[in-house]
Amino acid sequence: MQKDKKFIENNNYEIVETRSNYCKMSASITNTSLNPYNVAHGGFIFGLADTAAGIAARTKGVSAVTLDSSIQYLHTIKGEKIYAVANCIKEGRTISVYNVEIFDENDRLCVNSTFTYFYIN
């Protein structure tokens, strides 16, 4: 899981905690993660959610790829740090579904998303 962290490092993402079917991550919002309106870019936010869900999916010791995703941006994210919490909501033999919530530094829910992962081994 930790061997190729280029995307994680490039986007200032950090793994805070993992356990079976669970991952908590944080991200520092910097100048390079802002959109033209000077708020966190949707792609930056989506990348964090997808990464947290993917790491949670791989806590079972298998490789997984994103099969489907849906994201709802509920509030504009302001501040310098955000947190993503990924939990498994349906575990299958070859496909599992994860819910990812993203909170701002004031613990306000700003994003809700769902990711479906396919286990490739």
| Residues in CB range of 110: below 8 A, 6 or more apart | 73, 74, 75, 76, 77, 82, 102, 103, 104
Res 32: pLDDT: 93
Is residue 3 predicted with pLDDT exceeding 80? no
Is residue 121 predicted with pLDDT exceeding 90? no
Q: What is the arrangement of strands in the sheet containing 95-104, beginning at the earlier edge strand?
A: 13-19, 22-28, 81-91, 95-104, 109-119, 64-73
Gyration radius from the chain CA atoms: 14
Residue with tokens 């190729």: 4
Specify the CATH class of 6-119 in words: alpha beta
The domain spans of the chain are 6-119
The residue-averaged pLDDT of 87-108 equals 96
Q: With bands split at pLDDT 50, 70 and 90, how would you rate the model's confidence at 4?
A: low
